[in-house]
Amino acid sequence: MIAIIEYNAGNITSVARALHAIGQDFVITDDTKMLNAASHAIFPGVGAAGEAMAYLKGKKLDTWLKYCFQSGKPILGICLGTQIILNQSEENDTYSIGLVAGVTKRFPENLQAAGKALKIPHMGWNSVTLKHHHPVFAGVDPAAEYYFVHSYYPSPEDDEAVLGTTDYGMTFCSVLAVRNLIAMQFHPEKSGRPGLQILKNFCAWRGK
């Protein structure tokens, strides 16, 4: 059983629909007993880092996520769920969960490409360049594009944690992977067939 972590951060419905589309059983919960019983945890979300962390701390889900990471249970972070697994976020100057050392940063205001100013947030379709193979991306076309909508991006301290990068006026970490954790700034649940393949692969992954 796959658990989607509920923490009032939005986008839960889209993830649930995507799992339903691939025929995967799941539960949406903030109950740690139910989360413990699940084989995998998906940590999605959209919204503000400060509000999300307040809810997580109130439900002690930040502590549970640390336990989950240490236990070896496969974890998938999506969008906000990728940003707040680092130590700190520049959004609301928020101290985050700290599963991976690093800071979530805001895009600079002066981003440009081909001499033209780029809008913030980064919104729309873009590609990901993987540094090496990962089981969660097995069978996915390297040229695939994914749906992004964000003003902040993860910046891990250790370059080894960076699995994939994306260009948007600068090169930023769009996928990070550490042991049983994989997290992506884009939305696989909104990225068509490539995104569904990623979700299917994650559900079959054993975290190694």
6 catalytic? Reply is no
What are the angstrom distances between the C-alpha of 79 and each of 1, 18, 23, 163? 22, 16, 23, 15
- CA-atom Rg of the chain in angstroms: 16
Contact 68/35 with Cβ under 8 angstroms? yes
Of 40, 122, 150, 187, the catalytic one is 187
- Residue 4 phi, psi (nearest 5): -100, 125
Of 68, 79, 173, 203, the catalytic one is 79
160 catalytic? Reply is no
Contact 45/11 with Cβ under 8 angstroms? yes
189 catalytic? Reply is yes
Q: Which residues are catalytic?
A: 79, 187, 189
